[in-house]
Amino acid sequence: MTKIEIKDWLIESTALLSNHSEFPFIETQVLLAFVTGKSREWLIGHPVVQLTNDQLGRLSTLRARLIEGEPLPYLTGKQAFFGLDFAVDNHVLIPRPETELLVGECIQWLNGHPSKRKMVDVGTGSGAIAVILAHQFNDLDVTAIDCSAEALAIASENAKTYYVDGQVHFLKNDLLTGLEDRFDLIAANLPYIPSEVLKSLTVSKYEPRLALDGGADGLGLIRQLIEQSKNRIKPGGLIILEIETSQSAACLKLAENAFPLAEITPMIDLAKHPRIIKIQL
């Protein structure tokens, strides 16, 4: 292969990605940093360094996958979330900014309730929620549940990376089925996309369907968890759920039917859409 300098590869790749990515220059930088093992700052400061044939071959393959629509975090094996980098692969949903709202609400609640330190993260996926909260509160006892053994392996890796594997206990299970423990905090980002809608979405091509498919109306697992939580939440505890924005009214009704005496609050995201349901006992 012909030798190519960093700046020339960035220019060429940014142009190729311009019709396929919202942030083509940033994504080409991230790919280049991943393959070269250098920081993005280093790459900017060394524009005339030539790439090796091996690097160019790997970059070409990764760039083609990115153009086809494969998410960048699956190519690099990591995704930033709430200030930490999480290992991800195609067995787990990529942590998204919307879920940071849920984590922020959990942190605020835990700060205000220092005696309540037993929580469960249902549908933990990469472990992002469980690991962040354990990292923030070293006295927090976390059970992290998923029905996927592959997802739990990734989550366990992330817990070890941030030295919270002693606080987070991973369990392969179907939601809260069969559990006898009671919790102060039940947090969940469950699949909530209706099955028929999911078929038409690009996300279903790459991310695990198991982490996306919420059944006929998108509320199958959420409905089940709310019902199970009646016997698993401690007095004064909090249940906090991420939802799809169009499901707010239906989720509020489910919560009100299950917990008629609770304080039930929808939380609005930065786009001014309902994204979180809080059920305060």
Q: Could you report the average pLDDT of every consecutive run of 10 residues in the chain (281 residues)? A: 86 93 92 95 94 94 94 96 96 94 97 98 98 98 97 98 97 97 97 89 88 91 97 98 92 96 93 93 97
Distances (CA, A) of 109 to 55, 196, 221, 250: 47, 36, 24, 24
Which burial class, exposed, middle or buried, applies to 262 when counting CB atoms under 10 A from its CB (0-12, 13-18, 19+)?
middle
3-state secondary structure of 162: coil
Write the CATH number of the domain with boundaries 82-280: 3.40.50.150
The separation between CA 275 and the C-alpha centre of its own chain, rounded to angstroms, equals 14
Contact between residue 221 and residue 190 where contact means Cβ atoms under 8 Å apart: yes
Report pLDDT for 204. Answer: 85
- Domain span(s) for CATH 1.10.8.10 in the chain: 4-69
- Domain span(s) for CATH 3.40.50.150 in the chain: 82-280
Among candidate residues 214, 266, 240, 275, the one with its CA nearest the CA of residue 116: 240
Write the CATH number of the domain with boundaries 4-69: 1.10.8.10
Question: What's the CA gap between 102 and 118, in Å, rounded?
Answer: 17
Report pLDDT for 162. Answer: 98
End-to-end Cα separation, the chain, in angstroms? 65
